[in-house]
Amino acid sequence: MSDDIAPVLDHIDTGLDTSLERLFELVRIESISTDPDYAAGCRQAAEWIKKTLDGLGFESSVRDTPGHPVVVAHYNPPNRDNALHVLFYGHYDVQPVDPLELWDSPPFEPRLVDVGGTKHIVARGACDDKGQLMTFVEACRAHLDIHESLPVRVTMVLEGEEECGSINLDPFLEANRDELSADVALICDTGMWDAKTPAITTMLRGLLGIEVIVTGPSLDLHSGIFGGAARNPIRVLNRMLSDLHDDDGRVQIPGFYDGVEELPAAVREQWDNLDFTESAFLGDVGLGVPAGEAGRSVLEQVWSRPTCEVNGIIGGYTGDGTKTVIPSRATAKISCRLVGKQDPIAIRDAFKQFIRDRLPADCKVEFIDHGAGAAIQIDVTTPYLSKAAAALKQEFDRDAVLMGCGGSIPVVESFRRILGIDSLLIGFGLNDDRVHSPNEKYNLSSFHHGIRSWARVLDALR
Ligand code: BES
Ligand code: MN
Ligand code: MN
């Protein structure tokens, strides 16, 4: 730890309220990326970030894409031509807020709520990812306020389409490869081990999305006149979906497990030694019995085993009361979390074949492809990782846990493939933050420790 860091940390502590006010400003902007009605909110969030970073002395720009803009910002420490160059990534877009009626307060009116002595910042995006990206921005601010410089060279890429698949990001990275080149990427979009224990995420599951549309009769039919004789696409779809898993929770698509590897013994041992209670993890969300592959621990089920899930089903009459109808079509939205060396494209093809093999007479099936990204394994032997882990240990007085993550952050793979750089995933979210759900929150202590942690990590990487 250099002598430079103590005054920076003090400055963060005394300025926490103003840091929070700035986060609130960003959170008030309604930047829901997946809904075209909020395009103006996405641009406004990008403009707010540009203005904020310019105010810190970054050179920043809001860059148009075919979708929502990307903010790019650069800071070169004066007289330090050989400084390490980090690329920071975050996303300013958020998930939709529905169901709105389940929120205790309006989603875009951030509030600080005291829950049994713990302060929560409550709003859509409080954690994912506005609160998290602001931990890095505020850490830069503190260094600049105290030292009029940063310990490293910083480029930031803050995108607005993460929550809808980042379809325009790869072309953007390709078109701006030289401008975005750096030594290592830093990403703040993951979680801690628990409220007191920091973590570096070293495994991320991949994600594959497909929509299946089964059509039977050419129009919705009276179920009295045609029922019994007409093929019902909801029943057809249901049967296909129920074939996806056996009674032990194993996915039945041929070849699905190709490339799935057993955990290396050392990793298994590390995970076995983590203080993790399956019943508490499930109990927090109203469940009690692990529903994944039989014979696997819950941590394996969510970190190192693949899934094939039905995220939504649409079909037939869903309004009030009854309507006696045989629908013309039924749709399911499916996503698979992938691990190891599973090939997303091969699995997509195998999934489609699995469905087609079960298509009865008089039915048609169509597919809509959504994103496809493979799983990620971070190199745990880099000096960047050990320096960051040491900095986190100083902040929390506990070793950082190297953990897996059931979620997906496709940009990690893009950074490696397009820019040739590895990522360091450090985040301060907690499992009970209700990300993507009503009443999303970020602990004030996550925000505060997050800012202090990034200040230390930047100092440690210098
Ligand atoms: N920040 C999350 C990823 C995440 C989730 C990290 C849980 C740690 C714990 C990210 O914003 C996200 O939600 N990713 C999506 C993928 C995207 C393509 C919609 C996901 O994992 O579902
Ligand atoms: Mn996120
Ligand atoms: Mn998210």
Residues 183-201 pLDDT 10s: 999 999 999 999 999 999 9
At residue 2, does pLDDT exceed 80? no
Cα–Cα distance measured from residue 198 to residue 381, given in angstroms and rounded to the nearest whole number: 18
Q: How many CB atoms lie within 10 A of CB 5?
A: 22
Is residue 248 pLDDT above 70, yes or no? yes
For 461, phi then psi, to 5°, come to -85, -10
How far, CA to CA in Å, does 39 sit from each of 43, 44, 54, 110, 417? 6, 9, 23, 21, 29
The residues that bridge with 401 in the sheet, in sequence order, are: 199
Cα–Cα distance list, 76 to 82, 147, 181 (Å):
10, 14, 13
- Ligand 1 atom closest to Cα of residue 373: 18
Confidence (pLDDT) at 81: 87
Q: What distance in Å separates the CA atoms of residue 106 and residue 399, rounded to the nearest whole number?
A: 38
Q: What is the pLDDT of residues 35-47, one digit of tens each?
A: 999 999 999 999 9
For residues 337 and 374, what is the distance between their CA atoms, to the nearest angstrom? 9
* CATH architecture designation of domain 206-260+306-373: 2-Layer Sandwich (3.30)
> What's the whole-number average pLDDT of the chain?
97
Q: Which of 188, 435, 440 to mutate to test the pocket of ligand 1 (most atoms within 8 A of CB)?
A: 435
CB 181 within 8 A of CB 174: no
Give the pTM: 0.92
CA of 70 to the centre of ligand 1 (A): 18
Q: Shortest CA distance to 359 belongs to which of 221, 251, 237?
A: 237
User: Which residue has 């070169």 as its token pair?
Assistant: 76
- What's the CA-to-centroid distance between 276 and ligand 1, angstroms? 22
Who surrounds ion ligand 3 at CB < 5 A? 128
The ligand whose atoms approach the alpha carbon of 90 most closely is 2
Name the residue with tokens 């850490």.
139
Per-residue model confidence as pLDDT tens digits over 380-438: 999 999 999 999 999 999 999 999 999 999 999 999 999 999 999 999 999 999 999 99
Question: Could you tell me the distance, in angstroms and rounded to a whole number, from the CA of residue 351 to the centre of ligand 3?
Answer: 25
Residue nearest to atom 13 of ligand 1 (CA): 163
Instruction: Provide mean pLDDT across the span 88-106.
Output: 98
Tell me what pLDDT residue 200 has: 98
- Distance from chain centroid for Cα 396: 24
Category of 382 on φ-ψ map: left (φ > 0), alpha (ψ -120 to 50) or beta: beta
The pLDDT value recorded for residue 29 is 99
Atom of ligand 1 nearest to the CA of 371: 18
Residue nearest to atom 8 of ligand 1 (CA): 190
In this predicted structure, the answer to whether residue 323 has a pLDDT above a threshold of 70 is yes
Mutate to test the pocket of ligand 1, among 285, 408, 411, 432 (most ligand atoms within 8 A of CB): 408
- Residue of 409, 432, 440 with the most ligand 1 atoms within 8 Å of its CB, for mutation: 409
Dump pLDDT digits (tens) for 325-384. Answer: 999 999 999 999 999 999 999 999 999 999 999 999 999 999 999 989 999 999 999 999
Which 8-state DSSP code applies to residue 399?
A: P
Fold observed for domain 5-204+376-460 = Aminopeptidase (3.40.630)
| pLDDT tens digits for range 116-149 | 999 999 999 999 999 999 999 999 999 999 999 9
Mind listing the pLDDT tens digit for each residue in 62-89? 999 999 999 999 999 998 889 999 999 9
**Ligand 1: residues whose CB is within 6 Å?**
128-129, 162-163, 165, 189-191, 207, 371, 405, 407-409
- pLDDT recorded at residue 125: 98
Distance from the CA of 195 to the center of ligand 2, in angstroms? 18
pLDDT at 274 over 70: yes
Give the model's confidence band at 1: pLDDT under 50 very low, under 70 low, under 90 confident, else very high: low
Domain residue limits, the chain: 5-204+376-460, 206-260+306-373
Integer angstrom CA distances of residue 239 from 227, 278, 326, 360, 398: 18, 31, 16, 11, 50
CA of 365 to the centre of ligand 2 (A): 33
State yes or no: pLDDT of 3 exceeds 90.
no
